[in-house]
């Protein structure tokens, strides 16, 4: 048995095709077939059902679980050996919310990649609740989002604090209210974030506490989408204040001060406990944690 055979079996499980697996691995189809046949002969079992579409047998699925674990160990070994060169390099998958990806990450990554050009990053946008799950499952290396739970499976460090704000178009009646109150939102059409976001959970809790049934006209998955709807005066919204700083300065949105919304929410960096931290992640985490809070907020 060799690593190439395990990689081939893994690719077949993903592509469900000997031909496509060969294309992905730069192997001929006969070479793929020969590798799988050799593996099956060595373990005296059938790992792949060759009927169309190709799929793994029950034994093949059991075998694949162990094969993936072996490949992970090999990849970790490669990273450790690479780190011995003492040059931060590698690939980091970042998971973060859309607003953080747009408002904050460009400043961070611009500096970081200038200093460490051998470190490459991929950004995946998702709600903060999903960031925790993906970090724990190893689907992303580092998450940046609202710190919403105490999870022993992950490390979390605060980077800065954000608040949520009620924003409207300058043409909205609330923009002219001298003494706005939360109670005024009973009759105001609301543009809401989707229920799986931290912002929506906060808003729902505030409304429940004050027995307010909001008039929801639309739900959207990101603050960027919400802002566009508010700008054309389709309704009011409660979203991250950090995410609307540019629009507030430009005058396309208006912040309506509501005391009940003045609650600080920690935003931080999240990564899995107990995992091997390669040199790329060590450098990124070190730089990120060492940045002052002012680098993250109000700097556009």
Q: What pLDDT, on the 0 to 100 scale, is given for residue 103?
A: 78
233 φ, ψ (degrees, to nearest 5) = 65, 40
Which residues, 6+ apart, have CB-to-CB distance to 151 below 8 Å?
132, 136
**Do the beta carbons of residue 169 and residue 231 sit within 8 Å?**
yes
Residue ranges covered by each domain of the chain: 3-83, 88-160+265-295, 163-263
Same fold, 3-83 and 88-160+265-295: no
Q: What pLDDT, on the 0 to 100 scale, is given for residue 117?
A: 82
The architecture CATH gives domain 3-83: Orthogonal Bundle (1.10)
3-state secondary structure of 271: strand
Q: What pLDDT, on the 0 to 100 scale, is given for residue 300?
A: 35
Supply the CATH classification number for the domain 88-160+265-295: 3.40.190.10
Q: What pLDDT, on the 0 to 100 scale, is given for residue 299?
A: 37
Give average pLDDT by consecutive 10-residue segment, the chain, 300 residues.
89 91 91 91 91 89 91 85 70 88 82 81 87 90 89 88 93 93 93 90 94 94 91 94 90 94 89 84 83 61
CA distance 186 to 211: 9
Q: What pLDDT, on the 0 to 100 scale, is given for residue 127?
A: 84
Residue in 119, 154, 120 with CA at minimum distance from that of residue 138? 154
Supply the CATH classification number for the domain 163-263: 3.40.190.10
Q: Is the dihedral of CA 111, 112, 115, 121 positive or negative?
A: negative
Cα three-residue angle 104-109-111, rounded to 5 degrees: 110
**Do the beta carbons of residue 246 and residue 200 sit within 8 Å?**
no
Q: What pLDDT, on the 0 to 100 scale, is given for residue 219?
A: 94
H/E stretch holding 267: strand 265-272
Cα three-residue angle 261-266-267, rounded to 5 degrees: 115
């Amino acid at each position: 048995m060799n690593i190439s055979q395990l990689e081939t079996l893994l690719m077949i499980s993903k592509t469900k095709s000997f031909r496509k697996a060969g294309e992905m691995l730069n192997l001929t189809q006969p070479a793929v077939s020969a590798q799988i046949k050799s593996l099956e002969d060595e373990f005296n079992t059938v790992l792949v059902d060759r009927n169309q579409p190709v799929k793994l047998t029950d034994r093949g699925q059991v075998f694949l679980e162990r094969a993936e674990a072996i490949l992970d160990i090999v990849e970790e070994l490669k990273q450790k050996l690479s780190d011995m060169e003492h040059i931060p390099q590698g690939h980091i998958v970042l998971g973060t919310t859309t607003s953080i990806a747009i408002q904050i990450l460009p400043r961070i990554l611009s500096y970081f990649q200038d200093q460490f050009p051998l470190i490459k990053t991929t950004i995946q946008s998702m709600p903060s609740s999903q960031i925790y799950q993906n970090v724990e499952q190893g689907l992303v290396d580092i998450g940046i989002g609202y710190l919403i739970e105490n999870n022993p499976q992950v490390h979390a460090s605060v980077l800065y604090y954000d608040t949520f704000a009620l924003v409207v178009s300058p043409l909205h009646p609330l923009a002219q209210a001298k003494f706005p109150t939360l109670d005024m939102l009973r009759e105001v059409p609301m543009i809401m974030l989707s229920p799986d976001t931290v912002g929506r959970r906060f808003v729902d809790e505030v409304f429940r506490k004050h027995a307010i049934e909001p008039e929801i006209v639309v739900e959207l998955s990101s603050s960027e989408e919400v802002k566009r709807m508010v700008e054309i005066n389709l309704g009011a919204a409660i979203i991250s204040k950090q995410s609307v700083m540019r629009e507030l300065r430009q005058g396309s949105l208006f912040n309506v001060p509501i005391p009940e919304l003045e609650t600080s929410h920690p935003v931080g960096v999240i990564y899995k406990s107990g995992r091997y931290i390669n040199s790329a992640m060590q450098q990124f985490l070190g730089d990120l944690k060492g940045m002052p809070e002012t680098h993250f907020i109000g700097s556009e």
